[in-house]
Amino acid sequence: MTETVALKIVQRIASELTVQPRQVTATIQLLDEGATVPFIARYRKEVTGNLDDTQLRNLEERLLYLRELEDRRATILSSVEEQGKLTDPLRVAIEGADSKQVLEDLYLPYKPKRRTRAQIAREAGLEPLALALLADPKLDPATEAVAYVNAEKGVADTKAALDGARDILSEQFGETADLLGKLRDYLFNQGVVSSRVVEGKETEEGEKFRDYYDYAETIKTIPSHRALALFRGRNAGILMTKLGLGEELDAQVPHPGETLIAQRFSIENLGRPADKWLSDVCRWCWRVKVQPHIENELLTQLRDEAEHEAIRVFARNLKDLLLAAPAGPKAVIGLDPGLRTGVKVAVVDRTGKLLTTDTIYPHEPRRDWDGSLARLARIAASTQAELISIGNGTASRETDRLASELIARHPELKLQKIVVSEAGASIYSASEFAAKEFPDLDVTLRGAVSIARRLQDPLAELVKIEPKAIGVGQYQHDVNQRELARSLDAVVEDCVNAVGVDANTASVALLARVSGLNATLARNIVDFRDAHGPFPSRDHLRKVPRLGDKTFELAAGFLRINGGDNPLDCSSVHPEAYPVVERILSKINRQASEVLGNRDALAGLSPAEFADERFGLPTVRDILAELEKPGRDPRPEFKTATFRDGVEKISDLSAGMVLEGVVTNVAAFGAFIDIGVHQDGLVHVSALSTKFIKDPHEVVKAGQIVKVKVLEVDVKRQRIALTMRLDDDFTPGGPAAARNTSAGSTERNPGRSGAPRSNQRGREPEPAGGAMAAAFAKLKR
């Protein structure tokens, strides 16, 4: 890539992100040298001008797109030049194209393609006829066509000659870049996406798409979740979708698309001999060549944008879940609920080490309730467990009641119980990682271990599971899997490095997410640790095989050594900045161990006094903040939700109930809340707050504990409509219900589609359409 092209990319990114070109240049250089976003955001603030991790991720994404754009531009210029058709105006247009779409429009006439009808017509010598009629509409088409009839060339009569001329002009019109842009813009601004049920598909299989059996919405306003539902229905063969103008147009009146084509080539119907023929060419061009092409493009664009939004929602929810409050170093009993197969029990100690496992059968069909209580009591006493972590799958509430009775019968055990999401637990159980970690443990018991550990430290445990399997996404199986994986991996990387990792206790899975490390290096660290004992210092990490200077630079600041030789190794201060700390300690005449966590010892210090050419004010400020609170965890304080006794299944709910629950998923249309009945309820975006909310993330996030009021319960369809507007006067069928019921009961938690469980939470989401639209209409009124 030339220096000029590189500069153009820098200037464009700077303009889009509203930052200085020098910041972009510096960041690109760091990325090209192999630096990670977490490392750049945390330890290279002076270099980038204090760009944060969100800006850096956006910059990285745009850099990838623009470099791909420039590579494609170079390929197109080379191709057209090889054909001998690269004129100066065309070169200027190609070099000025600012998107892949515009670039492809310009390349369309020169793109190698299969032999077309227009090419066949040109080979038959019909191009002069087409150009003559376009240039002079006073000519009579039938008369002019006589001279081009030639059976040997496949032109049997004047109709065949005029059809060939029409094909030539249609291709010319349909490959005119500026015209395509106008037509695309028109259809995007005015177009309506509609769907109909395929005849004979009004079956049980198609029932979940019934809101789309007769549906229409402007393409500009259709939200991502409804777009993805439409495409899912189409792919399933249940829906037919199309993009039009929302109504059948009069066949005698030119379509707006035809009119735009005619205007572009100065075609008017003035009663001249060729005017009608040219108008028919415009109609043919629109209906046969251009409209299907643009319709497909715009529907693809709609899907791409919907997928991008779905991936963004998934990434945001995943971040909230990964950064959920940890219970901390406490011994935990993990209960993986089940009926016929029993409740799997696993106990881990304060460090997450597995102590013991068991299986109890308190529920149907064995109903060994008292025996199960006795065994759990013995286990709790012998392991000194403090917490009970209960998976939220099948038989969760029944198992939760068992734990409640255990706590009531044995207050001396001082146990607390918490219901946690078990999404992805079975994925972990059957994974290669779990097999290596517990080679002799039955697969069914590994899930209970995961349930116990994810209460201690959600981040450390969930990194062992493929992010897609955690189940906090929106139509996650329908989106581009490569883009989804790339986005979610970035979220996991950012979360792990924001919290930091204990190098002496972390698993391979957690270490592999540290800046600069990969699975091989993570395994080398654990193997070295197992062979030589705990690392006494960060510098000792350099002895790990294949962990070179560059890797150490990228990783060291995020790795913690607790109780090691150097007190600073337990902080996020990078080893390269230890000289700055030494100057600070020299100034106040203290030891590092005396200063860490001692705000008074650092009072009155000026960051500017310790800044130099390499470490500027941002870094010094970070160092001082870290010395005040070394190894500070950005995650919130651990809290638990309390489900109401006696409310264990959806039939126990009634309108007006106020309950406590946990946000399990946040989608574009609202938030799903686990209220302890095995089926999440939906708080529509309109019911999240008394003020207008555009994005549900403004109010809630995954893992948050909230209070909700039940608006409506549809037991047959397993739908629960909730509201967080607790002060609303509620009357069934009244204003509050009208605002939320339709919308709230039409969606099913899309994130649950990834949960590998047989309960209600594991079903695929049902789409929303008519009912949701009705709710919005009521809100607007």
For residue 444, give the nearest of 345, 340, 331 by alpha carbon: 345
Could you say which DSSP state residue 146 is in?
G
Lowest-confidence region among 238-252, 363-377, 622-636:
238-252
**CA 364 to CA 371: how far, in whole Å?**
14
pLDDT of residue 102: 93
Does the domain spanning 650-780 belong to CATH 2.40.50.140?
A: yes
Surface-to-core class of residue 128, CB atoms within 10 Å of its CB (0-12 exposed, 13-18 middle, 19+ buried):
middle
- φ, ψ for residue 761 (rounded to 5)? -70, -20
The pLDDT-based confidence of 154 (bands split at 50, 70, 90) is: very high
Q: List, for residues 193-237, the tens digit of each pLDDT value.
A: 999 999 888 887 778 888 899 999 999 999 888 999 999 999 999
Task: Give the mean model confidence (pLDDT) for residues 4-25.
Answer: 96
Within 13 Å of residue 305, how many CA atoms lie on the same side as its CB?
A: 14
Comparing 647 with 127, the larger pLDDT belongs to 127
* Average of per-residue pLDDT across 29-43: 96
pLDDT of residue 408: 87
State the residue for tokens 């084509």: 261
Q: Is the pLDDT of residue 471 over 80?
A: no
When mean pLDDT is compared across 274-278, 405-409, 536-540, the lowest value belongs to 405-409
Q: Are strands 416-420 and 387-391 parallel, antiparallel or unpaired?
A: parallel
| pLDDT for the residue 728 | 65
Secondary structure letter of residue 196 according to DSSP: E
Q: What is the pLDDT of residues 267-308, one digit of tens each?
A: 999 999 999 999 999 999 999 999 999 999 999 999 999 999
pLDDT of residue 747: 52
The three-class DSSP label of residue 97 is: coil
Whether 42 shows a pLDDT value over 80: the answer reads: yes
> 62-71, 401-410, 695-704: which has the minimum mean pLDDT?
695-704
Among candidate residues 207, 253, 259, the one with its CA nearest the CA of residue 233 = 207
Report pTM. Answer: 0.79
pLDDT the model gives residue 778 = 34
Greater model confidence, 576 or 254: 576
Return d(Cα 714, Cα 499) in angstroms, integer: 42
Residue 771 has pLDDT above 60, yes or no: no
Contact 601, 595 (CB under 8 A): yes
Residue 748: the pLDDT is 52
- pLDDT at residue 768 in the model: 40
CATH number of 3-110: 1.10.10.650
421 band by pLDDT with thresholds 50, 70 and 90? confident
Residue 310 has pLDDT above 60, yes or no: yes
Judge whether 231 and 194 are in contact, CB under 8 Å: no
Residue with tokens 């709609």: 302
Query: Checking phi first, is residue 411 left (phi over 0); if not, alpha (psi -120 to 50) or beta?
Result: alpha
Higher pLDDT, 717 or 308: 308
Listed residue (251, 261, 262) closest to 184, CA to CA: 261
Residue 405 has pLDDT above 60, yes or no: yes
Q: How many residues does the chain have?
A: 781
Average pLDDT over every residue of 424-429:
85
Residue 249 is predicted with a pLDDT of 52
What confidence tier does 761 reach under pLDDT thresholds 50, 70, 90?
A: very low
* Closest by Cα among 720, 559, 575 to 652: 720
**Residue type (1 letter), 90:** L
Half-sphere exposure of 496 (CA within 13 A, CB side): 30
Between CA 186 and CA 167 the distance in angstroms is 24
Cβ(743)–Cβ(725) below 8 Å: no
Q: In the predicted model, is pLDDT for residue 736 greater than 60?
A: no
Q: How many CB atoms lie within 10 A of CB 707?
A: 13
More confident residue, 534 or 465: 534
Q: What is the mean pLDDT of residues 440-449?
A: 92
Contact 80, 97 (CB under 8 A): no
Q: Of the candidates 314, 372, 336, 559, which has an alpha carbon nearest to the alpha carbon of residue 455?
A: 336
Which tokens sit at 555? 């990783």
The CATH code of the domain at 332-456 is 3.30.420.140
**pLDDT score recorded for residue 470:** 80
Q: Which of 81-85, 377-381, 422-426, 609-613 has the lowest mean pLDDT?
A: 422-426
Highest mean pLDDT among 434-438, 578-582, 754-758: 578-582
* Residue 745's pLDDT band (cuts 50, 70, 90): very low
Token representation of residue 622: 């970070």
A 10 A CB-CB count for 148 gives 22
Query: How many whole angstroms separate alpha carbon 565 and alpha carbon 569?
Result: 8
Query: What phi and psi values does residue 479 have, to the nearest 5 degrees?
Result: -95, 170
| pLDDT exceeds cutoff 60 at 334 | yes
Predicted confidence band of residue 52 (pLDDT cuts 50, 70, 90) = very high
Q: Which of 478, 499, 474, 511 is nearest to 697 (CA)?
A: 474
Main-chain dihedrals φ then ψ at residue 681, nearest 5 degrees: -95, 160
* Domain range list for the chain: 3-110, 332-456, 650-780
Q: Mean pLDDT of all residues in the chain?
A: 88
- Identify the CA nearest to 747 among candidates 726, 771, 711: 771
pLDDT digits (tens, 9 = 90+) for 516-537: 999 999 999 999 999 999 999 9
- Given a cut of 70, is residue 544 above it in pLDDT? yes
pLDDT value of position 491:
93
The span from the CA of 514 to the CA of 496, in Å, is 7
- pLDDT attached to residue 779: 32
Q: Which residues partner with 194 through β-bridges?
A: 216, 242
pLDDT cut 70: percent of the chain above it: 92
Where are the strands (E) in 591-691, listed by range?
Answer: 658-667, 670-674, 681-684
**Mean pLDDT over residues 69-82, rounded?**
96
Q: pLDDT digits over 138-150, tens only?
A: 999 999 999 999 9
Judge whether 347 and 386 are in contact, CB under 8 Å: no
Q: Single out the residue of 362, 366, 365 nearest to residue 376, CA to CA.
A: 362
pLDDT at position 68 over 90 = yes
Residue 478, pLDDT above cutoff 70: yes
**DSSP tag of 176:** -
Q: For 714, phi and psi rounded to 5 degrees? A: -115, 95
Predicted pLDDT at 297: 93
383: three-class secondary structure by DSSP: helix
Write the DSSP string, 158-172. Answer: HHHHHHHHHHHHHHH
* Degrees to nearest 5, angle at CA 379 with 373 and 380: 85
Smallest CA-to-CA distance from 174 within 301, 298, 302, 281 is with 281
- On the question of pLDDT at 554 being above 80, the answer is yes
